[in-house]
Chains A and B, each alone.
Chain A
Amino acid sequence: MKKVQLVKLAHARSGDKGDTANVGVIALKPEYYPVLVKELTPERVKAHFGRNVLGPVERFEMPNIGALNFLLHNALGGGGTLTLKHDAQGKVVSANILRMYIDVPDELEVP
């Protein structure tokens, strides 16, 4: 196994739904998707975000487009027009999740 930063395996887009941020993590190649499914557990994602995410993390699988959709609850300081956060709508949560390092099988070619 080797440690690889997620940004080499996936791209992402994030947005808001009230005080919940959503982030879709999309495999850059089909062969990366099973690794994402295995490694990006809701628990690990929650741990990665630390105090940024006060509520639970939900995960949904989208094998059709090689993506995982995460809902990060209580992550936007109240959300909408209430929030005092600079990233009020969770627009850059996409970049934040891609900072994660995950275990990847040695034989998987990664740029």
Chain B
Amino acid sequence: MKQMIRIASGQGYWGDRFDAPIDQVREGAIDYLVMDYLAEVTMSIMQKQKSRDPNLGYAKDFVPLMEKLLPLLVEKNVTLITNAGGVNPVGCMLAVRGIAEKMGMSGLKIAAVYGDDILEQLDSLIASGNALKNMETGAELSTVRNRVSSANVYFGARPVVEALQQGAQVIVTGRVTDTGISLAPMIHEFGWDWQDWDKLATGVVGGHINECGAQASGGNFFAGWKEVPDMERIGFPIVEAYADGHLVITKHESLGGLVDVRTVKEQLVYELGNPSEYITPDCVADFASIQLEQEGKNRVRVFGVKGKPDTPFYKVSISYFDGYTSIGQLTYTWPDALQKAQKADEIIRKRLDYLGVRFDEIRTEFLGYNACGGDTAPPIEDPNEVVLHIGVRGHNFKDMTTFSKEVIPLVLTGPPTVTGFGGGRPKVREVIAYWPALLKKETVQPKVLTIEVI
């Protein structure tokens, strides 16, 4: 049995730097590559694509990436785990098989992890007493049921471990947690017990560090961004996991970036709730128990992590249509940039009133003045330029298009020295809102399908 495995992060979100996963495999020794593709909105878009073509519904650009990546994975004996499968992991797996067959990779095993998509079962789940109440508002799902566009359970490491045990070298999943895809190889390789909560929690911490890509290795680094070398080829993090239950966070030496206790700390607190109750499908990790130590250059040791048993619930991510937003921008310059932008805001609001259109919300912010800081931003005198940022939210599409037509005319009808309208009318966007809920674990079963390339 191995005593150490290297799990490399290849992508922090769908749309992250495209060549990072290739660099991770090519620039040094790793055993696993993990890539996160899914956000709440993504699932809804994928459901829409699948409804038009039942073969789609996964991250489409994952397939061309695999044309480059797959030969490298095979050559270097690296296993890929990714949730690029979206709402059609089996379809995604078949697309990967197509590439593997073309490249003559017979014997390669590819797995799909699915069963997380509960959109079709929603009505029967509700009928059998699962209210799927919104965790934030307490409202029952039935209140928005007819507007739901996707519904997925977050699975943990278990089905991924099953796929690994079946010998899969490429595993495409649906909604598996970002932490689960890093934790699974540790359980598989080291034979950790499913009740060894401290070790599972250690793996979860590794997953949390990996899940946002370079945010753990010098990207978005508040304390020392000026010190980070070669950000144009920033090395994404690598978690060295040890069988005894500790980790070392590092990166490839040949790439840029920086791994030190500060970069790791910043990632540990990212999107963190109660540190002692970091809930995952596999365990509850205590982030207030994590110990860090700089072990060497670009090497941070993570140890002492405590964990507790998992909860009886899966988290469910449901998306539903909830109206529209539209945001317009105009740039006003010195002299009196702020006063001009404020005047333009007043004019637009009066126009909307005069035209009799109504919105759930109208919000104005002034970029270059206080848009990011709000009440924490100290006043500045006579800024060189200020961008008026005005947005509306509502459910009436016609009112939305009225707003969209009211911004650009300000250039000739409002205050002077205005520019930055080249993008044209503000777009009207559909709001796909997020509905977090819980579901008893016994209600759904993950499925694993492994196939071998002939």
A interface vs B, CB < 8 Å? 11-13, 15-19, 22-24, 26, 28, 48-52, 60-67, 69, 71, 77-78, 80-82, 84-87, 92, 94-97, 99
Contact = CB atoms under 8 A, between A and B. Distances in A.
B262 to A, nearest CB: 7
Question: Secondary structure at chain B's binding surface: helix, strand, loop or mixed?
Answer: mixed
B171 interface: no
Contact of A18 (B267, B304, B365, B434): B434
B290 interface: yes
B40 A80 contact: yes
Interface stretch (B102-110, B235-243, B273-281): B273-281
A41 to B, nearest CB: 17
Given A11-B222, A82-B322, A84-B363, A17 B392 contact: no
Contacts of A64: 288-291, 304
* Residue among B41, B363, B375, B376 with most chain A CB within 10 A: B376
B374 interface: yes
Given A49-B376, A96-B374, A24 B392 contact: no
B391 interface: yes
A65 B263 CA distance: 12
B152 to A, nearest CB: 16
A52 B223 CA distance: 24
Nearest to B389: A86
Nearest to A51: B375
Tell me if A's interface is mostly helix, strand, loop or mixed: mixed
B293 to A, nearest CB: 11
A18 B137 CA distance: 11
A22 B271 contact: yes
A15 B322 CA distance: 23
B271 A17 contact: yes
B376 A80 contact: no
Given A61-B288, A64-B290, A96 B372 contact: yes
A50 B374 contact: yes
A65 B292 contact: yes
A81 B433 contact: yes
Contacts of B289: 64
**The 3 nearest A-B residue pairs measured at CB:** A24-B269, A50-B375, A84-B391
B393 interface: yes
Contacts of B223: 11, 26, 28
Given A11-B262, A85-B363, A99-B376, A24 B268 contact: yes
Contacts of B367: 86
B325 interface: yes
Given A24-B270, A51-B374, A62-B287, 10 more contacts: A15-B271, A24-B266, A65-B268, A69-B272, A82-B393, A85-B363, A92-B372, A92-B373, A95-B222, A99-B373
B375 A22 contact: no
A77 B40 CA distance: 18
Contacts of A69: 269, 272-273, 275
Give the most central of B220, B271, B365: most A CB within 10 Å.
Answer: B271
A11 B265 CA distance: 10
Nearest to A66: B265
A26 B374 CA distance: 23
Contact of B136 (A18, A60, A62, A65): A18
B14 to A, nearest CB: 15
Contact of A86 (B270, B322, B372): B372
B168 to A, nearest CB: 32
B451 interface: no
B376 A67 contact: no
B228 interface: no
